[in-house]
Amino acid sequence: MLALVNAVDPFISTLALVGVVVIVSALLSGLIERSGVPQVGVLLALGAILGPVGLGLIDVTLDSPVLRAVSVLSLALVLFTDALSINPAEVRQHSKLTLLILGPGTILAAALISFAAWWLLGLSVPNAAILGAALASTDPVLLRGLLRRRDIPTVARLGLKLESGLNDVVLLPIVLVAMVFLGSRHIDDGRDWSSMGIQLFLLGPGAGVVVGLLGVAALDLVRRRIGVRRDYESLYSLGIAFAAYAGAEALHGSGFLAAFAAGLTISIFDVDLCDCFMEYGETTSELALLFTFVLLGSSQIWSGLTVLSGPALLFALIAMLARPAALLAALGPARLPRRSLILITWFGPRGLSSLLLVLLPVFAGLPGSDQLFAYCSLVVLLSVLIHGGSLMLVGRWSLTGKTAGPAETAPSAPPSPSPLRVLPSEPDLPSPTEERISLNEVRRLWDQGEPVIVLDVRRERALAESDSTVQGAVRLDPDRAVADAERLHLPKEAWLIAFCA
């Protein structure tokens, strides 16, 4: 009976931990967003409370199967949803900025950090390369609060979004190649190099492209012939991500590159999918990220404090400053506005993406990988403190240095009617309970002096790809419509006309 209890306890503890993470994250989400406190810091504190130093409810080691499973799923989902959220039109429009950030910016930052790790910490070249690549990765979770702010310049938001979403696919191959040199396999001739290149850069991405194309084709066929429930279509995104990962691993390729390739394939082909497809994938990946942060926060991430020394602290400072220096040099030809350049170069927080990359050699059991994780944890803790504090300051002051006040009140009516085609006249005014209204009815409301506000509630991707505009429309993010309406002080007695075509 005791053996049965001991066998069940780990499962119960894990299930309880999932419940606690979801409940606490949901209840504190509004407070965290308004206060500007970094969510990652809250999760690390929660992990410390639940860990051995606190209540002693969980104690996760680096060789824990739970940590490995959650970390692998998290990284695969993050890569898939990051690729899926890429807007090809935005990338083409700002191709120079994208190439400068992901090319010389990312690679130079990784090289500087790797050199510092080799010089100050005495690491071997492969270990230094892994640590440099991991710490050059910017964390989308820590950046989410900044990217949602409305006072952030468009160029800065786009640059940070592209970097946090795409730089892992540049840095992941560096980690994978360095792991080969640390392992038992030796690269002796051109045949070995060719084999490794095929496995990493052809089999993995190729499997992802095939799974992405087949998965979307199957969904489209079944949806047209039979129909697919919306909730199951949202689950379908997870199936594609995991199938791409498993297919590539079965072919001895990189499952992580396959997951990214699958998402990118769907994004490039601009498949007509319901919003739930991406939204559910993003929500699930965020839950996995939150869970991983709590697991690491219970004990392992604090191992970064055990390696504190003069050289380690100097390395951490160089790791924090290497990216701004690299991007300042790389973005010179882009001639960005000063505010955008400062935001892009400074806000490169290290977080879970760095930890997930450095955990790959840990899970592979490679020599010196535990030490790599400790040094990476030290930089992540410093980044959470410094970059998280910077986010709170941005929340208190606008980018011009003045105290952030309420946004401009929306106009009571657009200055001129919509440039879109006006339909034939209809005699009756719309009922407040109706969901649709014609353009001619909107014009008639204006003519009668009714307070009318047109809201542009298109999603960011649809907005970027559309040539249609509505003069005088107020922009509302559909994911945070209520918060935006309160911020804009929209009058409750006005007609609110939502434009979402």
- Print pLDDT tens along the chain (501 aa): 334 334 445 566 666 767 777 777 777 777 766 666 666 777 777 777 777 777 777 777 888 887 888 888 888 888 888 788 777 777 777 788 888 888 898 999 999 999 999 999 999 999 999 999 999 988 776 777 677 666 677 788 888 888 887 788 888 889 988 888 887 555 555 566 676 667 777 888 888 999 988 988 888 888 888 877 766 777 777 888 889 999 888 888 888 888 888 888 888 876 556 555 566 666 776 777 777 878 887 778 888 888 889 999 999 999 999 999 999 998 888 888 888 888 888 888 777 788 888 988 988 888 888 899 999 999 988 988 888 777 666 655 444 444 333 333 333 334 444 443 333 434 444 444 445 666 777 677 777 667 777 777 766 655 555 556 666 677 766 666 666 677 677 776 677 777 665
411 lies in some domain: yes
Domain endpoint, select from 378, 396, 414: 396
On whether residue 85 sits in a domain, the answer given is no
> Are 392 and 438 within one domain?
no
292 with 432, same domain: the answer is: no
Question: Among residues 185, 184, 179, 135, which one has the least CA distance to residue 362?
Answer: 179
- Is residue 166 located within the same domain as residue 36? yes
Residue 427 belongs to some domain of the structure: yes
Total count of domains within the chain: 2
For the CA atoms of 106, 348, 328, 96, what is the dihedral angle to 10 degrees? 60
My answer on whether 389 and 420 are in the same domain is no
- What string of H, E and C letters represents the secondary structure of 426-493? CCCCCCCCCCCCCHHHHHHHHHCCCCEEEEECCCHHHHHHCCCCCCCCEECCHHHHHHHHHHHCCCCC
Range of the domain at 160: 2-64+94-189+277-396
Residue 130 is encoded by which pair of tokens?
């892994």
Of 363, 396, 429, which closes a domain?
Answer: 396
The per-residue b/e assignment along 433-449, b for 16 or more CB within 10 angstroms, e otherwise, is eeeebebebbbbbbeee
Which residues have a Cβ under 8 Å from the Cβ of 319 and sit 6 or more positions away?
113, 116, 135, 350, 379
Last residue of a domain, one of 374, 396, 418: 396
Q: Domain for residue 225, yes or no? A: no
Phi and psi at 251, nearest 5°, equal -95, 10
Residue 341 domain-assigned (yes or no): yes
Q: 436 and 466 share a domain?
A: yes
Kindly state whether residues 418 and 294 are assigned to the same domain. Answer: no
Question: Strand 474-475 relative to strand 495-499: parallel, antiparallel, unpaired?
Answer: unpaired
325 in a structural domain: yes
Report helix, strand or coil for 157. Answer: helix
Helix (H, G, I), strand (E, B) or coil at 347: coil
Q: Examine residue 418 and state whether it is found in any structural domain, yes or no.
A: yes
Q: Are residues 435 and 385 in the same domain?
A: no
Tokens 């640590």 appear where?
131
Q: Is residue 156 part of a domain?
A: yes
